[in-house]
Amino acid sequence: MGAATAGQQAGGTPDKLRHVESMSERPSGAGSISGISAVVLGESLADEEHELVFPSAEFSATALVSSPQQYKEMYERSIKDPAGFWSEIADAFYWKEKWNPSEVCSENLDVSKGPVHISWFKGGKTNICYNAVDRNVEAGNGDKIALYWEGNEPGQDGKLTYSELVEKVCQLANYLKSVGVGKGDAVIIYLPMLLELPIAMLACARIGAVHSVVFAGFSADSLAQRIVDCKPKLVLTCNAVKRGPKPILLKDIVDAALVESEKNGFSVGICLTYENQSVMKRQDTKWQAGRDVWWQDVVTNFPTKCDVEWVDAEDPLFLLYTSGSTGKPKGVMHTSGGYMVYTATTFKYAFDYKPTDIYWCTADCGWITGHSYVTYGPLLNGAAVLVFEGTPNYPNAGRCWDIVDKYKVSIFYTAPTLVRSLMRDGDEYVTRYSRKSLRVLGSVGEPINPSAWRWFYNVVGDSKCPISDTWWQTETGGFMMTPLPGAWPQKPGSATFPFFGVQPVIVDEKGQEIEGECSGYLCIKKSWPGAFRTLYGDHDRYETTYFKPFAGYYFTGDGCSRDKDGYHWLTGRVDDVINVSGHRIGTAEVESALVSHPQCAEAAVVGVEHEVKGQGIYAFVTLVDGIPYSEELRKSLIAKVRTQIGAFAAPDRIHWAPGLPKTRSGKIMRRILRKIAAKQLDELGDISTLADPGVVDQLIALKDC
């Protein structure tokens, strides 16, 4: 179906809606679904506020989970018999030694009953690298492409088959062993999205070393913090990278971090550096003899076969540092067996993966999404994965769709921030490309507002691709709630229902579970295989942060609403909930209302002190290109929020924002926005990780407009 008319885009009814009978089967606890209009994917546009969007009969016919009834049966089994459910799935992987059948899962999530602990597949020995790479070669898929690589500049590309990938991994693993890296040793990886990044992760996993990937956009101070905390045997990096037209001298950042870590009592002996020749030659790279080693000079000399280190299911696989409220990063620790089984399974079902799919996740491996859904989850399924070094809007806003057409991408997984950014640049950058290969779309990182969902679905997906709107966290290891694209109908902006084995509950401030239609704090009442096991070196903080707020539950830190049909709607972090005159308002709700205004491209909302209300709502608003700031528009934006949420949610202040402060992965740095809103300009802190630090000065200049 073609583009909607202006009236349809504003909320009118499309001409060709095929209404579908309401659904009678729901997961336990879901309310009845009745009186809601529904459309079938591929037949009409999604533009009604409360409609259900169904997969087409053709999509469901070949889907791994093809109906609500099938989902319900699988889900109920996963809850009633988690040991049997997950053991059956785990059996599909290679285990050197089988786990103890009586100890598939052991847990205590209740701090009042002793130390918190979680374990899965106790006694089992396996290796995630072997299962992700060697097993695919042994199955006869050695000639299948494992990794495609698209460089920063159009025309730069590469690829590795599964056979080639295992050889590259083995060479690096042999080098690491030669310099003393062994089971349990930490390795810091500070690399951009070159093929060497997933290769490095897999090489560490092969020999039982614990990798800690640090996003190659963090400052030297942030990198040094992580080095001092996990004390790696060596650091892997490259000399430089380009992001868009801008060169970044990564080796200089690493050098500064190594100096800083030495001041804090820890010295790294080896810095293995990949020469990224398209950006910087080795003769132009600063060098410290005796410590620095060129990757190309040593790694390629090692054998292409390397024995696998078989590790216990509960041995650590990686550390990934995430921000903490104290300012000290938290070293989230994931282990091998459960994480392997969970990431592979979530990838398979959430994207309805087929062996013919070409899969592209735009995330960087410096974040959990790049671990679970660029590297491990897809490769464990034998997928062909696209690794993208560049930025999605360079050299223009059509780059994503150019890449989709070039590689015939069928599954495209990205963040709402990117979706909104591309919306702002206009449909023509999308529609000039075919995109006919696309089959499933995905969203990750934050709640996606309904207007962005609809644009993603209608324009990018041509009204035929289901959207897997995934909710999960660094700590969870994999998806916790997501639509299964062939089964449940979708509501734009809802994460829908829990994944297999996940038991979400919504509790009130006293920790009491709330049934039916409600809002509150999102908790999980039982463990799942992909759960993190501790915070490295600080188990007390692990318990205090995640398990003490509500005894007996894992507290996600997120707010959540459940509607009358049982669908879940994430409302943002509870520290991003504003209490205005006794009304608890999720910042994501206000942002969604603002972005639904046709002249608003993006919005970020924070709370500020208010002498009458306690807290007021302060909104940073980025307008669609070409729209001028005006008092009339300011009033119109406030009216939109009043209409969609209520007068109590109306922003007290609209702050015009040519751009928002974001990390290079697209995350909005609300910490900075809070300081600007509170006029605490001398407390902005480190802005070096921002994609464009100049945005901060622009916002400060406009603070009184």
Name 2's Cβ contacts closer than 8 Å, sequence gap at least 6: none
594, 597, 600, 601: CA torsion to nearest 10: 90
575 is catalytic: yes
Separation CA 497–CA 489 (nearest Å): 11
Beta strand 467-469 pairing with 292-294: unpaired
Query: Which pair of structure tokens corresponds to residue 204?
Result: 């560490």
3-state secondary structure 447-511: CCCHHHHHHHHHHHCCCCCCEEECECCCCCCCCCECCCCCCCCECCCCCECECCCCCEEEECCCC
**Cα atoms found within 13 Å of the Cα of residue 518, Cβ hemisphere only:** 15
C-beta separation of 605 from 597 below 8 A: no
Count CB-CB contacts under 10 A for residue 283: 6
Burial call 394-410: b when 16+ CB within 10 Å, e when fewer: beebbbbbbbbbebebb
- Token pair belonging to 222: 């942030």
Rounded to a whole number of angstroms, the distance between the first and last alpha carbons of the chain is 43
- Burial class of residue 677, CB neighbours in 10 A (0-12, 13-18, 19+): buried
Q: Rounded distance, CA 394 to CA 426, Å?
A: 15
**Residue 111 main-chain phi, psi, to 5 deg:** -65, -25
HSE-CB at 447 with a 13 A cutoff on CA atoms is 30
Strand 534-535 to strand 330-335: parallel, antiparallel, or no bridges (unpaired)?
antiparallel
Q: If residue 384 lies in a helix (H) or strand (E), which one and from where to where?
A: strand 384-388
Tokens of 460: 């990018």
Backbone torsion region of residue 371, taken as left when φ is above 0, otherwise alpha when ψ lies between -120 and 50, otherwise beta:
alpha
Cβ-proximal residues to 527 (8 Å cutoff; 6+ apart), any chain:
105, 107, 109, 118, 120, 554
Neighbouring-strand partners of residue 423: none
- Distance between CA atoms of residues 447 and 431, nearest Å: 25
Whole-number Å distance between alpha carbons of 531 and 342: 9
The CA-atom distances, in angstroms, between 208 and each of 102, 205, 338 are: 26, 5, 15
Nearest-angstrom CA–CA distance, 561 and 578: 15
Tokens linked to 624: 């669609």
How many C-beta atoms surround the C-beta of residue 499 within 10 A? 27
* Residue 78 DSSP SS3: helix
The span from the CA of 104 to the CA of 120, in Å, is: 5
* Catalytic hit among 575, 652, 682, 704: 575
Judge contact between 80 and 65, C-beta under 8 A. no
Report the interhelical angle of 587-595 vs 631-644 (nearest 10°).
120
Report which secondary-structure segment, H or E, holds 686: none
- Residues tagged active-site: 575
